[in-house]
Amino acid sequence: MVQLYNLHPFGSQRVVPCKQEPAHFCCGRDVLFVASAAAGCRVEVFAVRDQGRCEPLGSFATLGPVLRMAHSQAGDYLVTIEEKSKATFLRAYMNWRCMSAGSSRVCVRMVGHKMEESYSETLKEQMSIVEMPLSDPPLCISCCPVNGDLLVGCKNKLVMFCLKHLVINQNLTVLDFERSLILHVDNLIPAEVAFCARHIAITTELDVLILKLELVQQSADRTEQCAHRVSTLEKPMGGGAKDEGPSTHTLPLELDEFIVCQKPVELLGEESKLCEIPITLESTELPTEDTKCFQVRYLLFRRFTPDQSPFGFCEETKLHSVQLLPVYQTGSSVTACEETENKRELLSLFCFFSLPHVGYLYSVGKLVELISTYQYSEKSEQAVLTPQFLHVVTSENLQCFTVRCSAAAARDEDPYIDTTVKACPPVALDVCTLRMQLFIGPRAICHFKNHIILLTKADTEDITERRKPARRMLSRKADSTKSRTNSESEPGWNLYIINTVSTIQLYREMVDYSRTYENIKTESCIHLLSEAHLLVRAAIMDPSFHKSDEKEELLRAFRESCAFLGDCYSRCDTKDYHLALPYYRMSGLSMTEVLKRLVSEVDEIQRYERGFIFYLTHSLNEDLNEELSKESANKVLQIFYLADPLQLPHILCSPCMRNVCPLTAVKYLQKVEKIMPSVVLTLTKAFMALKMGDLTTYEHEMDSYKETILACGFIGQPKLLRQREEGIVIPTEFAVHLKEMQPGLLVAATVALHENSKMELEEADTFFKMLCSNGDNTIPQLLVDFWEALLVVCSQEEIIQELLLRVTSQYVWRISKKQIPETKPLKTTEDLINSCNYFGLICPWVTSIMSVGSPSDKDYCEDISKLQSLLCSQSINIASVLPVLEPLREAGNVGLTIHVLCSTRLGKYEEAIDQLLKRCPDAAVLYAQHELKDDTRALWWNKLFPELCKRTRLNGNDCPVLISSLKETLSVVAMELELRDFLSLLPEDGTAAFFLPHLLHCSQRKLLT
């Protein structure tokens, strides 16, 4: 559906002072080319100044009447199809600007002709005409706006010429063409072609075909083959497109009185291969290392029939105005006068074509899809597409439609569009007609920058009517540019330059127009504001935006349009109410400013729509650096109580609501509690009571549930404990109070938050450090309590190993620095052993060593025992913690136990035995009894017994501990070895009385066995 508005996109108009009747015209950069009608054989050139003022630059002769003409932005050349003696010629006019400086010299050369250096000086000061001979007459032409390449349509083929920059010498570079590729298309006579970034659109009377030339990767040794080969695409099998009759290209001749019409067909993407139009590529450029090989990819095929028109059967139904419109990456362009303009990065590509009564706009970039359909009120003559508008010439009007190019391109450019961060009006939004401007006999149109060039030619009866006084439809400035006499105007033609109004001016008019719908809250208000938004967005995406004088004003208009759309989606009851949030975000408005726009200052009950509540809910639940005033916060409280009371506990925990009146909040919460009680609501009431200093109410609320339930309640609203300011975690007053009064509940709640993915490990570290006012280098005991509690419940191996490393580091640091925890640990070693698999029972030999330790170690016994418990378990990776344990290597008995435990876990039992015998021999046997089992049992007689014998021999009777240990070892060895093996172990110089009881015991065991 096309909506109609009576806006004013057209400004003033001026008459182009042509000397002869125009036949064709086109625009390029800052000039207008006008080819005169049949007898003239000239092209007039006009400079277009501000406000559409035209100044003649000069003219040049053509070979004959111009049938088609086009200007290339890249290369700044004019290409024409001219007719002479019933033959057509393709010519390109280079360096034409020199003739405006008074030079009349012209050089005519063939395409590809080698230019000698001797001509360098003359080439600078003369216009060059490049003749491009073709085997078949040229029918249509198109220049690529990206790189200046030329595409020529002939019967059954398309010829592509590449624009070349030839360096004659360091002071002179000239332009030339090279015929590089021929596309052979069977049984196709192109009526129009469009060419852009290797995309080709071809139309016949009723068919549209869009192709893309894709580069094929070729190895170096195949370059020459690629340059000369002729590759034919595979032909479709099995009857072509579905729902399609016989191909128009193979129809037998019928009797003249019959007209055969095929069914309409639309094939998109890969399906378009079924169009039964085979294409053969023929490379014609000279083979070099840089030779490019192409293959064709079909993008779209569409076939129309004459009876498609809603106005009935018409033999004159023909396609016209095919156009490819590129949209570039924002900020990737350069100025129009630079040769490097072809380095702009293409973002999106659109194709437009039209029937007499309906036009079609497709996106043919990343995705091929129909964007918009345009229904005309009258038969159209020609249309021209711009990033902001579609201008259509009908039999009596110049019509201006909106387009959706900027909406589609914005989605290609920004992945955050259509999220809660950013929004853009949908591509499928109905288009609208902004203006239907009456003209007498409009015939042709073209567009550049903010100018529309319109050719009108009235019939004889129209001229008579025109002489009658009539009200002007447009302001027509009287200036010296209209120099034709009345007699010259008699034929009834005029060439106008119509200035389109500035984007800002039209935007303001659209906003003012939308206010007529503001009070009735209809979709029309959203539609018109969406049009205004897309208008500004298209201007911002224009390559020239960054150098525009209106840059700042356009950015302000963009933000303002976002705010207006946010207002609409907040006020209107629409299915797209959620768009209020991203539009307000893009507007840059603060929450306070939004509240002022939407909430009445009068203390009255308002109805608040879903969009407004959605915006407030998301904004309050995010960590915004904005504090609402007391009045605004209380108003928000009232809004949610009326619109969504169940959200009250959550919005009260927002940092934005820090200034809310806690007494008022408790009253509202009590009302909600009667409807839907919850743990979160109870905790919120306790929080508000704490803010008021009412500890009695606080304790009453906290006693309503068990501590485990309260800990889980914080999962529902983590902001009761922590908030963020500029990305930094800040503990709340509630957390500070719990730290002092119920640290166990605080730690349990934090563990619950971590296990439910509401708080990361690093975030918890920051939280506890800030809560306990510790510096970055000091670990508070409450954080260690959190790590220990998390080890009890955590199931993620990676996090477990990180936690084990952290607690180990902390235990070692406090033991080595003789630091006492600032608060009493919440869990003892026994608690951890009983509740956590990562803390093991402490080995008896460790306890034995510690029993004879230094009295000073008792001050840190809890950290020591926890560290020893960790090392006694099989959970921690000993190799990874060895560097951490290094400070305890010389720490007396503590260091000995740590050293021996690590050696044992690493399988270095002999090293452990040596350490024990050296520093604590009375624990050696106890160690062996606990550790030397199964595969390591042989160490009793292979290591421990020989070492004890050796050390006893050296110390004699002065070391009773060694003698006692030797006796215990002999008892174990005698029970394990055969008599012969046992005898071989005994030292030759040993005292028989000492060893004899053990020898007898071994032999008696053998006899009993």
Is 386 a residue whose pLDDT tops 60? yes
**Euclidean distance between CA atoms 660 and 260, whole angstroms:** 78
Taken in order 579, 580, 583, 586, the sign of the CA dihedral is: negative
Is 253 a residue whose pLDDT tops 50? no
**Euclidean distance between CA atoms 276 and 183, whole angstroms:** 15
Query: For the chain, how big is the Rg over CA atoms in Å?
Result: 45
Mean pLDDT in residue range 379-387? 94
575-598 pLDDT per residue, tens? 999 999 999 999 999 999 999 998
If you ran DSSP here, which 8-state letter would residue 714 be given?
Answer: H
Contact yes or no for 275/283 (Cβ under 8 A): no
Say what the pLDDT of residue 243 is. 42
The more confident residue out of 128 and 383 is 383
Is 654 a residue whose pLDDT tops 50? yes
Q: How far apart are the first and last CA of the chain?
A: 106
Say what the pLDDT of residue 728 is. 84
Nearest to 243 by CA among 259, 262, 260, 261: 262
Supply 547's token pair: 């150098």
Say what the pLDDT of residue 489 is. 43
Cα-to-chain-centroid distance, residue 948:
73
Q: How confident is the model at residue 257 (pLDDT cuts 50, 70, 90)?
A: low
Is 428 a residue whose pLDDT tops 80? yes
Say what the pLDDT of residue 634 is. 93
Amino acid at 622: E
The model's pTM = 0.81
Q: How confident is the model at residue 859 (pLDDT cuts 50, 70, 90)?
A: low
**Whole-number Cα distances in Å, 808 to 655, 801, 837:** 36, 11, 15
Q: How confident is the model at residue 339 (pLDDT cuts 50, 70, 90)?
A: very low
Is 895 a residue whose pLDDT tops 80? yes
Tell me the pLDDT of the chain averaged across its residues.
84
Contact yes or no for 847/861 (Cβ under 8 A): no
Say what the pLDDT of residue 580 is. 95
The DSSP secondary structure of 375-435, one letter per residue, reads: E-SS-EEEEEE-SSEEEEEESSEEEEEE--HHHHHHHHH-TTBTSSSB----TTSPPEEEE
Is 347 a residue whose pLDDT tops 60? yes
Q: How confident is the model at residue 974 (pLDDT cuts 50, 70, 90)?
A: confident
Residue linked to tokens 């001797």: 118
Mean pLDDT in residue range 56-66? 89
Is 861 a residue whose pLDDT tops 70? yes
Kindly report the backbone phi and psi dihedral angles of residue 593, in degrees, each rounded to the nearest multiple of 5, phi listed first. Answer: -65, -40
Mean pLDDT in residue range 628-649? 93
Say what the pLDDT of residue 349 is. 95
**Euclidean distance between CA atoms 134 and 489, whole angstroms:** 39
Say what the pLDDT of residue 237 is. 37
Is 51 a residue whose pLDDT tops 50? yes
Say what the pLDDT of residue 850 is. 87
User: How many Cβ atoms are within 10 Å of 552's Cβ, its own excluded?
Assistant: 9
Say what the pLDDT of residue 636 is. 94
Cα-based angle 542, 547, 548 (whole degrees, multiple of 5): 70
Mean pLDDT in residue range 329-341? 46
Mean pLDDT in residue range 633-641? 93
Contact yes or no for 829/862 (Cβ under 8 A): yes
Lowest mean pLDDT among 156-160, 356-360, 725-729, 747-751: 725-729
Say what the pLDDT of residue 555 is. 95
**Euclidean distance between CA atoms 534 and 518, whole angstroms:** 19
80-92 pLDDT per residue, tens? 999 998 899 999 9
Q: How would you list the strands of the sheet with 346-354, edge to edge? A: 320-328, 346-354, 358-364, 368-375
Is 858 a residue whose pLDDT tops 90? no
List Cβ neighbours of 638 (8 Å cut-off, separation of 6 or more).
none
**Longest Cα separation, the chain:** 150
**Whole-number Cα distances in Å, 758 to 516, 650, 701, 710, 712:** 47, 15, 24, 16, 12
896-917 pLDDT per residue, tens? 899 989 988 888 888 888 888 8
Q: How confident is the model at residue 726 (pLDDT cuts 50, 70, 90)?
A: confident
Q: How confident is the model at residue 136 (pLDDT cuts 50, 70, 90)?
A: very high
**Euclidean distance between CA atoms 775 and 766, whole angstroms:** 10
Kindly report the backbone phi and psi dihedral angles of residue 517, in degrees, each rounded to the nearest multiple of 5, phi listed first. Answer: -100, 0
User: How many Cβ atoms are within 10 Å of 719's Cβ, its own excluded?
Assistant: 23
Say what the pLDDT of residue 109 is. 87
Is 473 a residue whose pLDDT tops 60? no
Nearest to 151 by CA among 180, 187, 174: 180
Mean pLDDT in residue range 866-889? 88
140-193 pLDDT per residue, tens? 999 999 999 999 999 999 999 999 888 777 777 888 899 999 999 988 899 999
Q: How confident is the model at residue 704 (pLDDT cuts 50, 70, 90)?
A: very high
104-124 pLDDT per residue, tens? 778 888 887 776 655 566 667
